[in-house]
Structure 1
Amino acid sequence: MGHLAKLGGKLKTWRKRWFVLKNGTLTYWKSQHDMNRKPQGQIMLDEACRINRAEGASTFEIDTGKKVYYLTADSNATMDDWIRVLQNVQRRNATKLLLSRDDQKPTIQGWVTKVKNGHAKKCWCVLLGKMFLYFKAPGETNPLGQINMRDARVEEVEHVSDSDSEEREDPTQSQARLTVAIYPAHQGPTYLILPGKQERDNWLYHLTVVSGGGPNAGTQYEQLVQKLMETDGDPNCVLWRHPILLHTKDAITSPLTSLHSEAMQPEAIKLFKSIQLFMSVAVNQPGIDYHVVLAQNALQHCLDMPELQTEMIGILVKQTSRHTGQKLSVGVQVNKKLGKQTRAPAPPPII
Structure 2
Amino acid sequence: MAQGSNFVDYVKVCCRSGHGGSGSAHLHRDKFTAKGGPDGGDGGRGGHIMLRGSTQHWTLLHLKYRKHIIAENGLPGGSTLKTGATGKDEILEVPLGTVAKDAETGEVLFEITRDGQTKILTPGGRGGLGNWHFKSSTVQTPRHAQPGMPGKEQWIILELKVLADVGLVGFPNAGKSTLLSVVSAAKPEIADYPFTTIVPNLGIVAYRDNKSFVMADIPGIIEGASEGKGLGHRFLRHIERNSVLLFMVPADTDRTIAEEYDILFNELTAYNPELLDKPRLLAISKSDMLDEELEREMALQVPKGIPYLFISSVTGKNIQQLKDMIWKAINE
TM-score normalised over the length of structure 2: 0.27
Computing the radius of gyration over CA atoms, which structure comes out larger, 1 or 2? 2
Which is richer in helix? 1
TM-score normalised over the length of structure 1: 0.26
Higher relative contact order (CA 8 A, sep 6+): 2
